[in-house]
Amino acid sequence: MAEISTIARPYAVAAYKLGKEQKALAKWSDMLDFATQVAIDAKMQAYINDPKVVASDLQTTFLKVCGDKLNENAQNLIKVLIEYGRLSILPAITTAFEELKAQDEGVLEAQIISASKLSAAETKDLVKRLEEKFDKKVEATVSVDAEMIGGIKIIVGDTVIDASVKTQLQNLAYTLTA
């Protein structure tokens, strides 16, 4: 997986820089998302992976399916990806682009894991506190993990705030055996 993201990153950075230069990050985001949806479609996947299909035919078909949803620069990106046999990394390019865009906009992704379902008010309060702590806008994904026994775990970038009962019990057990 790291290899795919390593290959995808330069393409994403190039698209990001071009989008930023043209003040069209939202448009690039839409174009990349649309092209990714086309690329991951089951029928298109069968066509892409068909060894009888030559690159020029794939390019023509893919761009025809995308129609006017892609500008000239996005079409050029698709052409380069097809030429070098890298169309399969388009979803990774889109993901890397969105990460760069979010970073530029000052938005942090937070993963909130709790032992029980949080109410909308609890989630809103937690997000507000995280925004104050990190001084950036936070977009949170909330999930439930019953194995935590109780408490909550928050992951924001490289920062992990673990206030779960399971971790506290593990720490206590480690302290008692040490």
pLDDT digits (tens, 9 = 90+) for 84-121: 999 999 999 999 999 889 888 888 888 999 989 999 99
How does DSSP classify residue 66?
Answer: H
Domain ranges of the chain: 2-103, 106-177
Q: Are domains 2-103 and 106-177 of this chain identical in fold?
A: no
What is the rounded average pLDDT of the residues 165-173? 87
Q: Domain 2-103 classified CATH 1.20.120.1200?
A: no
Q: Which CATH class is domain 106-177?
A: alpha beta
For residues 79 and 128, what is the distance between their CA atoms, to the nearest angstrom?
A: 43
* pLDDT per position as a tens digit, 41-52: 999 999 999 999
pLDDT value of residue 166: 86
Query: Helices 25-40 and 55-66, interaxial angle, to 10°?
Result: 120
Please check the confidence at residue 1 and state whether its pLDDT lies above 50: no
